[in-house]
Amino acid sequence: MAGFIPEEKLSEIKNASNLVDIVSEVVLLKRAGKDYWGLCPFHSEKTASFKVDPEKQIFFCFGCRTGGNVFTFVMKQENISFAEAVKTLAGRCGVEIPEKGLSKAQQREMGEKQSLVETNRFGMDFFRNMLASHSSGKNAREYLGSRQLQEKTINEFHIGYAPGGWDHLVGYLTSKKVPLKSAVQSGLVIAKQGGRGYYDRFRERIMFPIFNISEQVIGFGGRVMDDTLPKYINSPETEVFNKRSSLYGLNRAKKACRTNDSVFIVEGYFDVLSMHQAGIEHTVATLGTGLTQEHIRILKGFCRRFFLVYDSDEAGIKATERIVGALVKENVEARVVPLPGESDPDSFLLEKSPEEFMLLVSKSLGVMNFLLESAIRKYGLSAEGKIRIVTDLEAPLSSIDDSVKRGIYIREIAERIDLDEPSLLEKIRKAQERRGDGSIIQTKHQESTSDAFPIMEKTELRLEKKLVAMMLQFPVIIPQIKEKHLVEHFTDPMLQSIARLVFDYRGDPDGIVSEIIMCVGDKHMESVIAQLAVGDDAWDEKGGLKLIAQFQRRLFRQQKKPLINQIKAAEASNDPDLLEKLLKEKQAQSRNKEFSSF
């Protein structure tokens, strides 16, 4: 798994990286005893089943059966390779990785993404310089001033300006010896047809750099300063930029989200800037995709309460309708902040105070209540109006897979509009049947969970599992297991492989689990090791020797069965010589039982 990265470097990075700190950046962890627990960032769940063991420096989710060490977590969380995870963590803790220590494939993979990030950083520097000190940025500076953006906000968010013309950025990148191939891959420049050169993608636009939570520039948004269409252009999706899992401003908002246990989700760059400038720093924006389930899971790692601050128009209502199912599924408390008229957060805060905005927040409605009240205002409560209300709410209600929550919402809606509850329930049930995906989603998830770590039913497998778990949790017992050659008799190849890795380990016993995971190179085996290691069994020498004896007794019974059958056959065939030989073997086998020490 480690390729050609020196083992001592991997250990240095691992020892310098605190798994609790790294997981805490994306998961709200709460201490319980010596361990930390939180909602798993890798699947939907209502109760915390994601455990981090600070002593062993491993994590395991008892829901989706995913586990491993700090490298595993970063790989899965950021969807990157092992080599990239190593480089990311090395950068965090100031450990240098020699390039010659990487394979060519690792260097290429790491190089491509690193090149994109570095190219974007050059692009950001160029745009900022154009805005701050170039004559062409004068109009842009005046425009930002008219939007009442303060210099502090402009600098904190690294806002810039893309000048008019076709190749200003191309020329700048060339002067900095940035490969234009990388600039094309990042989306900053576009190759001309026929390979006759390159031109700038962004021209005469205010530029908003988009950062990931590691403060890397992964993309850009560009806005015109007049009524030209399109008003906004975003970077195309790349190896480092995915709009469905990226949020504008999260790098600056994450601390405030934790502090306030809440997040305001808006729709535009200027909305984020105005909210932060008003002191409401726990604010992020989606990037033209609407709120996705990926966004919800990311934000859920920082806070539990979501406030949707969308435009109070038909488009805003439709956007809310689309995400009801995902919000309910992810079990977050979501409310909608209704803004007056055609206001958005930016325009509201240009005219009103932050206190007046927070007063609106105090009047916010739950997502389903917001949709219901919006529909009532639109259609009224006549017979025809009620029909239209039910039609509008059919899609968001049928998107809720949890039957209990769906039933509660249906009851409340039926009472509010004075409608027969069974009739509404039946209508939503039929809508779900037409969707045909509610129960299927759950079934698929259950199958994938089962496949990730098959349940071991047989007694010998349970004992093998316990022995390996004991070796990982109580390394003092390892010499006893090794001396008795128990692992040679394991029936499960994976458990046998894990046990042999434990035998081969020569380092500090406290680091045994994380170090072994680093040597595995198989995601399934990593999860198995993590699951076995996170158990809370209170092992001591007496309990360990008792388990060893139990395994030996079972092994003896298994070995004795064929011999007993042979003795019976010898008796049946009246063969005294063979019978005598077999009985001697049985006596020798009994004498060799090593139970005297228990």
pLDDT digits (tens, 9 = 90+) for 247-288: 999 999 999 998 999 999 999 999 999 999 999 999 999 998
125 occurs within a structural domain: yes
pLDDT for 110 equals 57
Q: Does residue 446 carry a pLDDT above 60?
A: no
Query: Do 97 and 179 belong together in one domain?
Result: no
In contact, 280 and 266? CB cutoff 8 Å: no
Query: Do 44 and 116 belong together in one domain?
Result: no
499 occurs within a structural domain: no
In contact, 327 and 296? CB cutoff 8 Å: yes
pLDDT for 449 equals 33
Question: Domain total for the chain?
Answer: 3
Query: Do 39 and 80 belong together in one domain?
Result: yes
Query: Do 36 and 111 belong together in one domain?
Result: no
Residue 45 Cα distances to 300, 437, 582, angstroms: 11, 18, 59
E strand or H helix at 334, and its extent? strand 333-336
Number of alpha carbons in the 13 Å side-chain half-sphere of residue 505: 26
187 occurs within a structural domain: yes
65 occurs within a structural domain: yes
547 occurs within a structural domain: no
Burial class of residue 572 in the structure, from the number of CB atoms within 10 Å of its CB (0-12 exposed, 13-18 middle, 19+ buried): exposed
Query: Do 98 and 64 belong together in one domain?
Result: yes
Q: Does residue 23 carry a pLDDT above 90?
A: yes
Query: Do 53 and 147 belong together in one domain?
Result: no
pLDDT for 541 equals 85
The residue among 330, 491, 297 whose CA lies nearest residue 400 is 330
CB neighbour list of residue 394: distance below 8 Å, 6 or more residues apart: 427, 428, 431
Query: Do 114 and 129 belong together in one domain?
Result: yes
The residue among 47, 55, 51, 44 whose CA lies nearest residue 29 is 51
In contact, 401 and 324? CB cutoff 8 Å: no
Please tell me the pTM assigned to this model: 0.71
Choosing from 105, 139, 162, the residue where a domain stops is 105
| Domain that includes residue 75, residue range | 7-105
Dihedral sign computed on CA atoms, order 99, 104, 109, 114: positive
CB atoms within 10 A of CB 158: 17
358 occurs within a structural domain: no
Tell me the two tokens of residue 405: 């929550």
CATH number of domain containing 201: 3.90.980.10
DSSP state of 240: S
What does the mean pLDDT of the chain come to?
85
Question: How far, in Å, CA of 66 to CA of 43, rounded?
Answer: 10
CATH number of domain containing 56: 3.90.580.10
In contact, 105 and 175? CB cutoff 8 Å: no
pLDDT for 83 equals 80
Question: How far, in Å, CA of 313 to CA of 379, rounded?
Answer: 15
Q: Does residue 102 carry a pLDDT above 70?
A: no
Query: Do 94 and 152 belong together in one domain?
Result: no
When pLDDT is cut at 50, 70 and 90, the band that residue 352 belongs to is: very high
In contact, 309 and 291? CB cutoff 8 Å: no
362 occurs within a structural domain: no
CB neighbour list of residue 279: distance below 8 Å, 6 or more residues apart: 354
- Phi, psi at 465, each rounded to 5°: -60, -45
CB atoms within 10 A of CB 96: 9
Query: Do 230 and 138 belong together in one domain?
Result: yes
Query: Do 113 and 229 belong together in one domain?
Result: yes
Query: Do 88 and 146 belong together in one domain?
Result: no
pLDDT in tens, 144-169: 999 999 999 999 999 999 999 999 99
Dihedral sign computed on CA atoms, order 40, 43, 44, 47: negative
Whose structure tokens read 């008229």? 341
pLDDT for 450 equals 36
CB atoms within 10 A of CB 393: 25
Residue 345 Cα distances to 267, 285, 294, 338, angstroms: 9, 11, 24, 10
Whose structure tokens read 């002067």? 175
Choosing from 381, 416, 443, the residue where a domain stops is 443
The residue among 429, 365, 422 whose CA lies nearest residue 400 is 429
Choosing from 185, 207, 241, the residue where a domain stops is 241
Q: Does residue 592 carry a pLDDT above 70?
A: no
Burial class of residue 239 in the structure, from the number of CB atoms within 10 Å of its CB (0-12 exposed, 13-18 middle, 19+ buried): middle
Looking at the chain, the whole-number percentage of residues with pLDDT higher than 90 is 45
59 occurs within a structural domain: yes
Query: Do 218 and 186 belong together in one domain?
Result: yes
Helices and strands counted in the chain (H then E): 27, 16
Between residues 380 and 316, the one the model is more confident about:
380
pLDDT in tens, 368-408: 999 999 999 999 999 999 999 999 999 899 888 888 889 99
pLDDT for 579 equals 63
